[in-house]
Structure 1
Amino acid sequence: MKKLLAVLAMLLPIQLLAANWQEGTHYEVIDDKASGKMLVQEFYSFWCPACNAVEPIVQQMKTRLASEGIKFEKVHANFMRFAEPETQDAATRAMMIGRALKQEEKLNSAIFAHIHKKRQPITSMDDLKAIFVDQGVEPKRFDELAGSFSVNSLFSRNNKTLEQNARHLNKGVPAFIVNGKYRAMFTRDMTPDQVIELVVWLAKQKI
């Protein structure tokens, strides 16, 4: 009985919190129809300071979503003012190389660190290649994947998804779109745990 009460005590705040999520304050309905599957998409940019700052929460979110059977996907934006569109597209392609290598998280972190911690510029694909090589990626393998069919397909899919959701990104990034139907909205007083709980709750709504 004591164990049961302890579990209930832990769950109760989450249940009460979920009951308080309000449309217009914590989320926006952006489409009448959902995607038909539980999917959280984070729209972000490597050059975005807020995206860099939220990365630790995103890593926790990914772990939680995976445990709930909810798919998570990063979508890289190319409309930031901090770099040329061609350079941002190169970063998108590099991200897809990392995805193809199954090292996306590690290599994304290296790009973020290069820009925001080391304060080093990225102006070309060669700069991105140097970051990846420093992380142990073979230069030849990087070049092979950069122009491969799989990476080209992933790159095109990223930009198509970005284009389809552009109207929902007018407030900038990072932005979290859930099941293609909801855009999560975070208030200043929310804790990291509450941010994650909101996203999980939205993903579990009827789709």
Structure 2
Amino acid sequence: MKKLLGILTLALMLPLQACAQEMYTEGEHYEVIAEEASKDREVLEFFSFWCPHCHAFEPLVEQMKQKLDEEVKFEKVQVNFMGFAEKDVQDEATRAMMVARALKREDQLNKAIFNYIHVQRSPVTSIKDLKNIFIVNGVDPDEFDKLVKSFGVNSMFSKNNKLIDQYRKELSGVPTFIVNGKYKAKFTREMTPDDMVDLIVWLSEQK
């Protein structure tokens, strides 16, 4: 009986898998940017705190994280080439994000930076502005100062910018999602927000 149920379950799943493959097509919904996928499954979101589209996309990012398999790593990569602010200031924002990552409060503090820029309409001109955002959100100022200069944060900052260099030719705009090091997602106007989330999840399952 168990064997029969297993066969029936598989038979029901196959049409759904076929449907997904037909739904997302190379060239229209994604591009293949490498011959081989990365060893570990991952989703890289290239974004900017200054980008209004990235800010608006945050609820979908949360849905992606919830729907991705536990083994899939989701990582935000803050770019430093947007025209909204000086490169040095954008790098400072990346460094602040790495402090948040070290504190294991990245989601909350990223949201605070987004809100500061897009909701409060306040300018970020230096690391001091970012530090004040963190203090308002409960981060000890001395701990911030210690972490922002730490080896761990410097290493994460360097990794962030190496990823920008690695994928720079693929980054015509943000947000851009690179999945498993092989696929770049493309969102069409016909896609619903749920479609966009499901595309990222589906790409994360591809080799």
Fold in common (TM above 0.5): yes
Give the total of aligned pairs.
198
Aligned residue type for 1:153: S
Kindly report structure 1 stretches of 4+ aligned residues shifted beyond 2 Å.
8-19
- Note if contact 1:18-1:198 (Cα within 8 Å) is conserved in structure 2: no
Taking the aligned partners of 1:131 and 1:12, their CA distance within structure 2 comes to: 50
Gaps of 5+ in 1: none
Deviations 1:48-95 (A, max 9, x none): 011001000001111111x45211110010000000000000000000
The corresponding residue for 2:3 is none
Deviations 1:130-159 (A, max 9, x none): 000000000000000010000000000000
Aligned residue type for 1:85: K
The corresponding residue for 1:59 is 62
Taking the aligned partners of 1:52 and 1:83, their CA distance within structure 2 comes to: 16
The corresponding residue for 1:181 is 182
Deviations 1:19-68 (A, max 9, x none): 22111100001111211221100000000011001000001111111x45
Give 1:191 deviation, angstroms.
1.5
Alignment equivalent of 1:162, drawn from 156, 161, 164: 164
Taking the aligned partners of 2:36 and 2:182, their CA distance within structure 1 comes to: 6
1:95-174, aligned counterparts within 5 Å? 95-170=97-172, 172-174=173-175
- Note if contact 1:43-1:174 (Cα within 8 Å) is conserved in structure 2: yes
Alignment equivalent of 1:69, drawn from 68, 71, 86: 71
* RMSD between aligned residues: 1.9
Normalised by the length of structure 2, the TM-score is 0.90
Aligned residue type for 2:75: E
Normalised by the length of structure 1, the TM-score is 0.90
Higher mean alpha-carbon deviation, 14-23 vs 133-142, is at 14-23
Taking the aligned partners of 1:11 and 1:117, their CA distance within structure 2 comes to: 45
Gaps of 5+ in 2: 1-7
State, as a whole percentage, how many aligned pairs show the same letter.
57
Taking the aligned partners of 2:47 and 2:30, their CA distance within structure 1 comes to: 18
Taking the aligned partners of 1:160 and 1:20, their CA distance within structure 2 comes to: 33
Deviations 1:101-153 (A, max 9, x none): 00000000000000000000000000000000000000000000010000000
Taking the aligned partners of 2:16 and 2:40, their CA distance within structure 1 comes to: 27
- Note if contact 1:145-1:151 (Cα within 8 Å) is conserved in structure 2: yes
